[in-house]
A = this chain, B = another copy of it.
């Protein structure tokens, strides 16, 4: 009874328009899709159909359309954590650019767990998404390979497997890390730490390599200045790392944080230990953070071109989906070092 009540508000379909105008469903479809050129439908009939469609506020059923055409005009976006500002901003722009092309976005989180990533891919596939934008988790190479085999239009963003034949949009991690570390050295730092995730990610390794080359070149390399923390125990691992770094005999005078979450946790920790930022220790962060504005001095950071990344990812993906481009695209964008 209730169900009947709920169903009573029927959506407007082509059939309804066809009946009310007195033509066949096919004619309505042709007109509404603009395929009535070349003497298919008379001007008057077309006008009547368009009027009726407007009057009834017709909206095509995307499910039916997708089923018939084999395309859903929907893109899956798989990120590690949508509550993280970096991914949130990425999602915002991806959604914006996708919408302009008539695509909707379904978002899924992995929480950096490959099992969840597998599940999410399955979930999105069963929804007949036309393509996928992914920031892959560690150890997900086999999933990416599967998707390639499956011929799923795909773009990796932020992170990538450089040896896989897959579209990607990345930043110049190595160069910007090298440059950022150099900057700390120029500011007079002699003992610079690098805090990063204990993860085997290409982009993370590149950042490490940039740091490494810069300190080595300056003759400042010390193995124990590189500290790795676990994603799942970020807070406690950072605390331990910072505590170690500031207490060891050769006290550090600079820290480079490899990601935004590490930056935030690291700064929190430094404050807890009451370290004199920019007096005793110079820091350098990946990504901007609101917290910076609280300080009486400015903290240098690497700004990623998130909007550009989103724009490129969507363009590459949609070109791929619509068959306009079948070449693999590896797109590298320049991040910016902000010193202010």
Asked if A54 is an interface residue, CB under 8 A from chain B, the answer is: no
Contact A63 B104, CB 8 Å, known A88-B85, A96-B109, A151-B9: no
Task: Tell which of A76-84, A174-182, A223-231, A311-319 binds the partner.
Answer: A76-84
Asked if A123 is an interface residue, CB under 8 A from chain B, the answer is: yes
Query: Contact partner of A106 among B8, B9, B92, B105, CB < 8 A?
Result: B105
User: What is the chain B residue whose CB lies nearest that of A267?
Assistant: B294
| CB-contacts of A66-90 with B (<8 A) | 66-67, 70, 72, 74, 81-85, 87-89
Query: Contact partner of A83 among B9, B59, B88, CB < 8 A?
Result: B88
A1-16 CB mask vs B (1 if < 8 Å, else 0) is 0110111110000000
Are A109 and B82 in touch, CB under 8 angstroms?
A: no
Asked if A323 is an interface residue, CB under 8 A from chain B, the answer is: yes
Query: How many residues on A have C-beta within 8 angstroms of the other chain's C-beta atoms?
Result: 60
Instruction: Report the separation of the CA atoms of residues A84 and B108 in the bound assembly, to the nearest whole angstrom.
Output: 17
Q: How far does the Cβ of A90 sit from chain B's closest Cβ, in whole Å?
A: 8
Query: Contact partner of A267 among B124, B126, B267, B293, CB < 8 A?
Result: B293
Are A294 and B296 in touch, CB under 8 angstroms?
A: no
Asked if A128 is an interface residue, CB under 8 A from chain B, the answer is: yes
Asked if A268 is an interface residue, CB under 8 A from chain B, the answer is: yes
Instruction: Report the separation of the CA atoms of residues A105 and B85 in the bound assembly, to the nearest whole angstrom.
Output: 19
Are B291 and A63 in touch, CB under 8 angstroms?
A: no
Asked if A23 is an interface residue, CB under 8 A from chain B, the answer is: no
Asked if A198 is an interface residue, CB under 8 A from chain B, the answer is: no
Asked if A222 is an interface residue, CB under 8 A from chain B, the answer is: no
Instruction: Report the separation of the CA atoms of residues A317 and B190 in the bound assembly, to the nearest whole angstrom.
Output: 58
